[in-house]
Amino acid sequence: MADAHKNKTVATLLALLLGGFGIHRFYLKPGADRIGLLHLCCLPVMGILYGSVKPHPFYVVLPLLVSFIAGFVEALVIGLTSDEQWDAKYNAHSARQSRSNWVLVLLLVVTMLVATTVLIGTIARLSDVMYTGGAYG
Protein backbone atom coordinates (compact mmCIF):
# COMPACT_ATOMS: atom_id res chain seq x y z
CA MET A 1 0.00 0.00 0.00
CA ALA A 2 1.36 3.43 -0.99
CA ASP A 3 1.75 6.21 1.54
CA ALA A 4 -0.23 9.41 1.22
CA HIS A 5 1.31 11.92 -1.17
CA LYS A 6 2.58 15.11 0.56
CA ASN A 7 1.99 18.14 -1.65
CA LYS A 8 4.71 20.78 -1.52
CA THR A 9 2.32 23.61 -2.41
CA VAL A 10 -0.06 22.67 0.41
CA ALA A 11 2.83 22.43 2.88
CA THR A 12 4.08 25.87 1.81
CA LEU A 13 0.59 27.37 2.15
CA LEU A 14 0.17 25.85 5.61
CA ALA A 15 3.57 27.19 6.68
CA LEU A 16 2.66 30.66 5.38
CA LEU A 17 -0.77 30.88 7.00
CA LEU A 18 -0.46 28.69 10.11
CA GLY A 19 3.30 28.27 10.48
CA GLY A 20 3.32 30.00 13.84
CA PHE A 21 1.30 27.11 15.24
CA GLY A 22 3.33 24.39 13.47
CA ILE A 23 0.42 23.03 11.43
CA HIS A 24 2.68 22.42 8.43
CA ARG A 25 4.92 20.22 10.59
CA PHE A 26 1.97 18.05 11.60
CA TYR A 27 0.95 17.79 7.93
CA LEU A 28 4.40 16.60 6.93
CA LYS A 29 5.05 14.32 9.91
CA PRO A 30 1.82 12.99 11.41
CA GLY A 31 1.96 12.35 15.12
CA ALA A 32 4.04 14.20 17.66
CA ASP A 33 6.62 16.29 15.81
CA ARG A 34 8.99 17.98 18.25
CA ILE A 35 9.44 21.17 16.25
CA GLY A 36 5.68 21.37 15.68
CA LEU A 37 5.14 21.06 19.42
CA LEU A 38 7.77 23.75 19.97
CA HIS A 39 5.74 26.08 17.74
CA LEU A 40 2.66 25.32 19.84
CA CYS A 41 4.56 26.15 23.06
CA CYS A 42 4.37 29.85 22.18
CA LEU A 43 0.72 29.90 23.26
CA PRO A 44 1.27 28.82 26.89
CA VAL A 45 4.31 31.12 27.09
CA MET A 46 2.09 34.02 26.00
CA GLY A 47 -0.44 33.06 28.66
CA ILE A 48 2.22 32.89 31.36
CA LEU A 49 3.62 36.27 30.34
CA TYR A 50 0.17 37.83 30.31
CA GLY A 51 -1.06 36.26 33.52
CA SER A 52 1.88 36.48 35.87
CA VAL A 53 4.55 38.86 34.68
CA LYS A 54 2.45 41.70 33.16
CA PRO A 55 5.16 43.11 30.86
CA HIS A 56 4.65 45.59 28.04
CA PRO A 57 1.90 44.22 25.72
CA PHE A 58 4.36 43.82 22.85
CA TYR A 59 6.42 41.35 24.89
CA VAL A 60 3.32 39.20 25.35
CA VAL A 61 2.90 38.64 21.60
CA LEU A 62 6.64 38.39 20.91
CA PRO A 63 6.78 34.55 21.27
CA LEU A 64 4.01 34.22 18.68
CA LEU A 65 5.76 36.65 16.32
CA VAL A 66 9.02 34.71 16.61
CA SER A 67 7.16 31.46 15.93
CA PHE A 68 5.49 32.94 12.85
CA ILE A 69 8.81 34.29 11.54
CA ALA A 70 10.27 30.78 11.91
CA GLY A 71 7.20 29.46 10.06
CA PHE A 72 7.86 31.91 7.21
CA VAL A 73 11.45 30.71 6.95
CA GLU A 74 10.21 27.12 6.90
CA ALA A 75 7.73 28.04 4.14
CA LEU A 76 10.60 29.38 2.05
CA VAL A 77 12.71 26.28 2.68
CA ILE A 78 9.82 23.97 1.80
CA GLY A 79 8.91 25.92 -1.34
CA LEU A 80 12.48 26.18 -2.61
CA THR A 81 13.22 22.47 -2.17
CA SER A 82 13.53 20.73 -5.54
CA ASP A 83 10.82 18.26 -6.50
CA GLU A 84 13.31 15.38 -6.54
CA GLN A 85 14.54 16.11 -3.01
CA TRP A 86 10.95 16.62 -1.81
CA ASP A 87 9.85 13.26 -3.21
CA ALA A 88 12.89 11.52 -1.76
CA LYS A 89 12.20 12.92 1.72
CA TYR A 90 8.39 12.93 2.01
CA ASN A 91 7.05 10.83 -0.87
CA ALA A 92 9.49 7.93 -1.03
CA HIS A 93 6.72 5.32 -0.87
CA SER A 94 4.09 7.30 -2.76
CA ALA A 95 3.02 6.24 -6.22
CA ARG A 96 2.98 9.85 -7.49
CA GLN A 97 5.71 12.36 -8.25
CA SER A 98 5.60 16.05 -7.38
CA ARG A 99 5.32 18.72 -10.06
CA SER A 100 5.57 22.31 -8.87
CA ASN A 101 3.70 24.99 -10.79
CA TRP A 102 3.15 28.74 -10.80
CA VAL A 103 0.99 28.65 -7.66
CA LEU A 104 4.06 27.68 -5.63
CA VAL A 105 6.02 30.59 -7.10
CA LEU A 106 3.20 32.96 -6.21
CA LEU A 107 3.13 31.58 -2.65
CA LEU A 108 6.87 32.13 -2.32
CA VAL A 109 6.55 35.76 -3.45
CA VAL A 110 3.70 36.36 -0.97
CA THR A 111 5.73 34.64 1.75
CA MET A 112 8.67 36.96 1.12
CA LEU A 113 6.43 40.03 1.24
CA VAL A 114 4.66 39.01 4.44
CA ALA A 115 7.82 37.71 6.14
CA THR A 116 9.86 40.85 5.48
CA THR A 117 6.98 43.08 6.62
CA VAL A 118 6.52 41.14 9.87
CA LEU A 119 10.27 40.92 10.51
CA ILE A 120 10.96 44.61 9.91
CA GLY A 121 7.89 45.62 11.92
CA THR A 122 8.94 43.38 14.80
CA ILE A 123 12.47 44.75 14.82
CA ALA A 124 11.21 48.34 14.69
CA ARG A 125 8.66 47.84 17.48
CA LEU A 126 11.13 45.91 19.64
CA SER A 127 13.68 48.72 19.25
CA ASP A 128 11.04 51.30 20.16
CA VAL A 129 9.95 49.39 23.26
CA MET A 130 13.50 48.62 24.41
CA TYR A 131 15.06 52.03 23.90
CA THR A 132 12.19 54.49 24.45
CA GLY A 133 9.77 52.46 26.52
CA GLY A 134 7.19 52.50 23.72
CA ALA A 135 7.07 56.29 23.37
CA TYR A 136 6.36 56.10 19.63
CA GLY A 137 3.31 53.89 19.74
Asked whether the predicted pLDDT for residue 1 surpasses 70, the reply is no
The predicted-structure confidence for 12-29, as pLDDT tens digits, reads as follows 999 999 999 999 999 998
CB 35 within 8 A of CB 19: no
Neighbours of 6 (CB within 10 A): 19
CB 104 within 8 A of CB 15: no
The pLDDT value recorded for residue 4 is 83
| Closest C-alpha to 71, from 112, 16, 119, 31 | 16
